[in-house]
Amino acid sequence: HQDYRLGALLGEPPRASAWGALLGVVAANLGLGVALLELGRITGVPLAAPGSWGMASSGVGALIDVANLVVFGALLTPVAEELVFRGVLFRKWRRTLGPVKGLFLSSVLFGVLHGGTMLPLAVSGLSWALLYTRTRTIWAPILAHVLNNSFSVAAILVSRSLGVRSFELTPAQAAV
């Protein structure tokens, strides 16, 4: 269908006025993730699952693992997910089921398909769909998703450099 060709999906880049909303969505998503991790740590109820990454500790293997994490985790995967979840599914369901059902269905599916604790990922999907609706360009949620994942990848790499095997840093580790 011509509405789902790559050029039609991508559309125009976000206007300068969209950057505030875009950065606000990224900050809110990151804040929610940290808050849920900390609340889960305090209560003992896992509200957000910290990621564990099996990475080589040195040599060429470590460089390849870092490159894969950056290229796929921070760049290619967010682009592909936004094109599928917001560009195709949300657009289709918004048109056929209505805006509210389309919003919630695409967001819940996004969370469920990521596995683990779905709440923060469903909320991220919801916020990116709202950003897409507000800016009327898929570029805004793509950029927000790339920024969000880039912060997560950075947290993983920092935690690995500190000898931690997941990106859930204690306050003492984060202060270093």
| pLDDT tens-digit readout, 61-106 | 667 878 888 888 889 999 999 999 999 999 999 999 999 999 999 9
The predicted structure's pLDDT at residue 168: 47
| pLDDT tens-digit readout, 35-52 | 877 787 788 877 665 555
Average pLDDT over residues 110-121: 83
Greatest mean pLDDT among 36-45, 108-117, 129-138: 129-138
Which residues have C-beta within 8 Å of that of residue 25, sequence separation ≥ 6? 127, 128, 130, 131, 144
How much of the chain exceeds pLDDT 90, in percent?
Answer: 33
- DSSP result, 95-142: HHH-HHHHHHHHHHHHHHHT-S--HHHHHHHHHHHHHHHHHS-THHHH
Whole-number mean pLDDT of the chain? 80
* pTM score, whole prediction: 0.77
| Comparison of pLDDT for 105 and 166, the residue scoring more | 105
The predicted structure's pLDDT at residue 167: 46
- pLDDT band of residue 53 (cuts 50, 70, 90) is low
Average pLDDT over residues 127-138: 91
How much of the chain exceeds pLDDT 70, in percent?
Answer: 79
